[in-house]
Copies of this chain bind each other. A is one copy, B any other.
């Protein structure tokens, strides 16, 4: 039996990383990527010499690519003829339009968090509700903050149960190099509850959640402060054990120099990770506290890459490649080099 074939639609911040995350999955085949214009991302891909096959939304723009020597392999629809699943990382709203094409070509699709929930059959998280995605045609991934948040809360919930959470999201306002959004010398507040708390309750309906969100003028990762009421009392040691056992969570220490979101970005750069990316969320060992039996802890969300593993999990689910949750996420982790104990 041949490997399932994957295409990445939209080669922006997330699309670039979906391609790089899908390519090494030994039991899948990345056929190519789709984009509109000769962006810097495509120029860099071309200059780097490690080119994915490129398909164009609008073939009339091919001359722009010819001029700078970027090879084009065909059209968006020609790619759709070859693939089983589209990883749609287009700007919010475009995915809903693309869905008609996916239906026409009998292609399954996984949308990112910016898309409206109605676009999908299931709102999906690899660890928290893998089973719900099995065999479905259209999945929507949780957003970057929600994906990382659920990793942590789901891990606690499976061990001792989580009754309720109240979160404070300290959010990066733009990605590095993004000129379309930005704030200067300002903390901008959103109404309570934030969508991440609401979204978490859709994936984990047995947890009561609310949350406050502040936009901050930084680019290298969100930080979320979580006040969680567990169903059973839990010690700091047990909590750390739960986190250390999770291949997509990294426990770090301020004492070792991990004093900020940017220290984590710098560390990922120094690891030699492509683009300085990190798939794991981080938990600070020294930032765990208790208020009565409530737990207070903080996580770091590397917003550019954090949803990649759960998106790959989504491929496994919608194609019924694995029916066991832990087997599925385990394979994703293995191909991405993610191990527990960090």
Contact = CB atoms under 8 A, between A and B. Distances in A.
B182 A217 contact: yes
Contacts of A286: 191-192
Interface string A269-302: 1111011100000001011111110101110000
Interface stretch (A79-87, A131-139, A171-179): A171-179
B284 A189 contact: yes
Given A259-B189, A267-B44, A173 B164 contact: no
A34 to B, nearest CB: 17
A265 B223 contact: no
Contacts of A265: 176-177
A187 B263 contact: no
A262 B177 contact: yes
Interface string A195-229: 00000000000001111101011111101010101
Contacts of A267: 40, 43-44
Nearest to A259: B188
A211 B297 CA distance: 9
Contacts of A294: 164, 166, 227, 229
A257 interface: yes
A296 B187 contact: no
B227 A179 contact: no
A127 to B, nearest CB: 22
Contact of A289 (B177, B212, B229, B292): B212
Contact of A186 (B44, B168, B177): B177
Nearest to A292: B164
Contact of A216 (B187, B220, B272): B187
A168 B212 CA distance: 10
A239 to B, nearest CB: 12
5 contacts: A166-B166, A178-B184, A189-B287, A211-B296, A227-B227
Listed from nearest, the 7 A-B pairs whose CB atoms lie closest are A182-B182, A44-B270, A177-B266, A192-B289, A210-B289, A185-B185, A168-B225
